[in-house]
Structure 1
Amino acid sequence: MNTIETLVSGHVCAIHTEVGATIAAGDAVMMIESMKMEIPLESDHAGVVKAILVQAGDAVAEGQAVIELE
């Protein structure tokens, strides 16, 4: 199982996937707001979304796992 982790700390402003979705490496799966900028979070791995560990509006830390892939 792989996870997608944040590269910056900030707040989740949008989630662009759902549990059960198939994603490819490089797909933008989430938008993180950090220092008044919106930064897309891209998947490093291809797979099927098993779990989304955060919700829109949640604060996230750099390196935090936010999505689990099968």
Structure 2
Amino acid sequence: MAEEIRAEMVANVWKVEKAVGDTVADGDTLVILESMKMEIPVVAEIDGVVAQIAVNEGDVVQEGDLIAVVE
């Protein structure tokens, strides 16, 4: 079953840590967001493989925007 990971707030995409095809474990950082000079890690909530990274470094995400999909 695929897990969609979505932004919880408006933020800038500071760093993309994983790529499509990477194996991840529950708690691994996928992307780091930056908001108000704070770094917010976006983590996988299941073990699996990254099926999609929907953002690029420098993008601005809105609350609810798709960040990644882990299968």
Normalising by structure 1, what TM-score?
0.88
Which residue of structure 2 lines up, in the alignment, with residue 21 of structure 1?
Answer: 22
Whole-angstrom distance in 1 between the partners of 2:67 and 2:55: 6
State the 1:45 CA deviation: 1.9
1:19-54 per-position Cα deviation (integer Å, ceiling 9, x unaligned): 100111111111101112111111112210111111
Aligned residues with identical type, % of pairs: 39
Structure 2 spans left out of the alignment, 5+ residues: none
State the partner residue of 1:49. Answer: 50
**TM-score by structure 2 length?**
0.87
Please identify runs of 4+ aligned residues in structure 1 that moved more than 3 A. Answer: none
- Aligned length in residues: 70
Give the CA RMSD over aligned residues: 1.1
1:55 is paired with a residue whose SS is coil
